[in-house]
Chain A
Amino acid sequence: MLSDVTSFASLAPAYPELLLAVGAIVVLLVSLFWKGISSTAVSIVAIVLLLVVLAMLLLQPATGVLFNGVFIVDGFARYMKALVLGGAAATLLISLSSAKEHGIDKFEYAVLVLLATLGMMIMVSANDLMTLYIGLELQSLALYVVAAMKREDKKATEAGIKYFVLGALSSGMLLYGASLVYGFTGTTQIDQIVTAITLDSRSIGLIFGMVFLLAGIAFKISAVPFHMWTPDVYEGAPTPVTAFFAAAPKVAAMALFIRVSTVSFAPITHDWQQIVIFLSIASMVLAAFAAIGQNNLKRLLAYSSIGHVGFALVGLSAGTQVGVEGVAVYMAIYIAMTVGIFACVLALRTENGPVETITELAGLAQKRPFVAAVIAILMFSLIGLPPLAGFFAKWQVFLAAVEQNLFLLAVIGVLASAVSAFYYLRIVKVMYFDEPVAEFAAVPGELNVVMAGIGFLIVAYFVTVGSPLTAAAQLAAGSLF
């Protein structure tokens, strides 16, 4: 087969990936041979690199299919990649000040984050089950190492091993599913699977393959019942790493989920819809109840992220363009809220070290009113209370579900959000209603900026970014249908 890459210019759609790959390797080599370079400097270079790639992505609207159809850049891919890059850069930024304390003050951390981000971008752009796997593994392998980066810490090591074992299992399932799909359709290319299905009516083997494939991806977005690793890994990994896990990889895996289900399995929408509805309900309900008993902040946030994946899947359950648009908006707002909340968590430390439990937040509103206010806004937004951004996220996905008359799903969803309000409000209660017990250290400047920025966007969502974001999401979703 002849390559479709005839000149360097024809690679234009893949420029961001190429730049990121080359950049990551250069950063790795330079850091390796330049003894004494500080890890903070490497992180800043990595942030700048991510932002340059992001700018490149936004400014250069090249779309197309490359490398004989295995790599696709469309509106949807660009939207999701922008979220991934933004999330990765923001999480690197908020971990700058506490890297040493969390044992990730090594230059490898930034490099691995860059490589993981590259993997995510390939996942988002995957148009072939093989590219999909390559991207996924590049991301996962980098993340396994990052999770266990704090080597001398037992919990972190345990988290790394758990993540690796379960992640490998899920990759195996995904590969098995991919092989079945290939066997029954004769192709691995996502947009050609569709035609194969239409020609040859759905066979049980294909459904089997699809189930395994989606189960493998469900592991990566940590939807119930494939969520077991999430609370342990979130708790065990160093907090900046947890922040990274909760933000960018979720978006990339969700993008993959959407592309595989809506593009390649479009003719059997009804079949995967059932799976998504089940994953969605199970995630929303389990997370809402399981989080109530948590006192560890990171475990709570783990369950919260499981719940939010459930809510995002409500949009996908609809199986329509409106639904995908809803998920796209949801993921953008989710990433902002996640970065915001981790910025707050990283900003808080008492004389006993970083804040890990909810009870330690007692009386924060009187000691650090600004941080407390931002956390409260984020909590109300995570509940989905208007006029905060979280409400508009939920509005979009539930609107799509109601359009398809999925009333049961919608009612269970909103009731689950009422239950989840219980644990989010507990944090507000502890901060605002209880009396302070500890003193909190001063907050690093860049975290203040991140918190203020995100707090403002969440509050003023409706009058600021709301309209353009919805328009962008609409454009992105439109490119899939």
Chain B
Amino acid sequence: MIFSDHLLTVITFLPTLGALLLLFVGGRDEAANRLARYIALGVTVVTAALSLWLWYKFDPTNTGFQFVENYGWSDSIGYRMGVDGISVLFIPLTAVLMPAVILSSFGSITKRVKEYLIVFLILETFMIGAFATLDLAMFYVFFEGTLIPMFLIIGIWGGARRIQATYKFFFYSFTGTVLMLIAIMAMFWQADTLDIQKLLAFKFPPELQTWLWIGFFASFAVKMPMWPFHRWLPEAHVEAPTGGSVILAAILLKLGGYGFIRFSISMFPDASHQFANFVFVLSIAAIIITSLVALVQTDIKKLIAYSSVAHMGFVTMGIFTGNIYGIHGAIFQMISHGIVSAALFFCVGVVYDRMHTREIDAYGGLVSPMPRYAVVFMVFTMANVGLPGTSGFVGEFLTMLAAFQANTWVAFFAAFGVILSAAYALWLYRRVIFGAFTKESLKGILDLDRREAIVLVPLVLLTILFGFYPAPILDATAASVNLVAENFANAIGAAPQAVAAATGH
């Protein structure tokens, strides 16, 4: 058995092993909590290192799947792992954010520490597994499995209205996902396999594609979330503890985008083409409407949550243009948003831990007592706006470029999103960081401590690095994205011509 042959399995299940280890940490005193925290941190750091190694060993010129493991189980379900350019980057993204999440909980989570760490480690297994698996049923298992830990995270460690928030999160996700389950089963009987590699090569009949597309859309549109299926997201974000919000925004939403690229575009190209305009309308609605909604929020977390929905609008818009720029931009935007939104929620967590309020009005003038915090927050605000030189720019630019090619009006309306995001993000920054430092309650607030700096500074560096030098991400994905776009163009190639002939152009 060669280690690198099972690298994906190791990365996926190492966190679960860590969780099992934590079960044996006895006692509920401070010493036990400390031990549990360091075990969890150690496990996630090792996982992150392995995932970076995976990225390093990944051959970007190969369009096929790499690190493949394939074992049958029953007639239908099998244990299959493998990554290509579409999925490979999400694994390091997940694995690198986890140590930050664990580290950020050191100060803020004081009750049921061990349970907190266990559910987060299990959640990490599900998230990485969803990106790494090559079996459709196992994808469902990992994808849906994330509901259990997330339900508990929001429900146990959440804020005052946590129960409503966690129920809403659960039911939106579950209802969408079970419809995907039926579609998966229909695919199995059609193609007689659940191996994603074989399914990608299988041509589903166009009428069936429509139904399958709808089944998958129900699940991913909720996960993404697309307007108007986003109602669960602001509440879940607001009530979740910092770590929960970070994972939700940075990774779980990406499962939807990943699903759209891997399944909707690649397996149902005809249906995707047919529904493209529908998706564009929803994406534009998300970009404009949720940006406007973000403007009037009084809760910092809610504002960032709505801005996430708007940014995901760019992703769906890019994906369904079906061209290289669009899909490339969508993946870049997802990685970038993963870093930036995670960082923004960490930033909110920093002030929340000190003041225990998320109301924008409670803050103001933080630049004088917290200069370092002000700088960090500014970088992420700018990245959220999409300022050139930050990672936020590249993805938005590419997706707009693609939209322009596909449909000028879509690009025209999407551009409003850029303006509006500048409006709400800068205004938020002004109200929290600038202004007079007069509030009595804020006196004595401390700047970033060392632990918080360790969490945030690497994210600052990554944001700026990918802004100036996006090549590591774009190179790793290029070959696979080309293949997806090519297959999509080939599959729908016949359709536009037929329409053109019928209308006499």
Contacts and interface: CB of A to CB of B under 8 A. Distances in A.
A67 to B, nearest CB: 37
Interface residues of A, number: 32
Contacts of B74: 466-467, 470-471
Chain A residues touching B, majority SS? helix
A418 B148 CA distance: 14
Nearest to B140: A386
A466 B182 CA distance: 21
Contacts of B144: 385-386, 391
Contacts of B352: none
Contacts of B174: 383, 418, 421
Contacts of A403: 185, 189
A71 interface: no
Nearest to B76: A399
Interface string B230-249: 00000000000000000000
A467 B144 CA distance: 21
B63 to A, nearest CB: 30
Interface string A32-69: 00000000000000000000000000000000000000
Given A398-B181, A432-B156, A387 B171 contact: no
Contact of B178 (A380, A415, A467): A415
A414 B183 CA distance: 12
Interface string B112-138: 100100000000000000000000010
A467 B137 CA distance: 15
B163 A402 contact: no
B185 A386 contact: no
B392 interface: no
Contact of A467 (B73, B115, B185, B188): B73
Interface string B161-176: 0110001001100110
A395 B171 CA distance: 19
A402 B185 contact: yes
A433 B163 CA distance: 8
B148 A402 contact: no
Contact of A380 (B137, B148, B155, B188): B148
Contacts of B148: 380, 385
A160 B456 CA distance: 66
A343 to B, nearest CB: 20
Contacts of B380: none
Contacts of B415: none
B147 interface: yes
Nearest to A411: B182
A106 interface: no
Contacts of A421: 170-171, 174
A415 B175 contact: yes
Nearest to B147: A385
B190 to A, nearest CB: 10
A410 interface: yes
A433 B73 contact: no
B145 A387 contact: yes
B179 interface: yes
Contacts of A386: 140-142, 144-145
Nearest to B188: A399
Interface string B60-75: 0000000000000110
Contacts of A429: 155, 163, 167
Contacts of A391: 141, 144
B151 A425 contact: yes
A366 B140 CA distance: 32
Nearest to A407: B182
A179 interface: no
B186 A432 contact: no
B152 interface: yes
A188 interface: no
A194 to B, nearest CB: 27
Name, among B171, B178, B186, the residue most crowded by chain A CB atoms within 10 Å (CB to CB): B178
22 contacts: A366-B112, A385-B144, A385-B147, A385-B148, A386-B140, A395-B181, A399-B188, A402-B182, A402-B185, A402-B188, A407-B186, A410-B185, A411-B179, A414-B179, A418-B174, A421-B171, A422-B171, A433-B155, A433-B162, A433-B163, A462-B141, A467-B73
Q: Which 6 A-B pairs have the closest CB atoms?
A: A414-B178, A386-B141, A402-B185, A418-B175, A433-B155, A470-B74
Given A386-B144, A410-B182, 19 more contacts: A366-B112, A369-B115, A380-B148, A385-B145, A385-B148, A386-B145, A395-B76, A395-B137, A398-B182, A399-B76, A403-B189, A414-B181, A414-B182, A422-B171, A428-B155, A429-B163, A432-B155, A466-B74, A470-B74
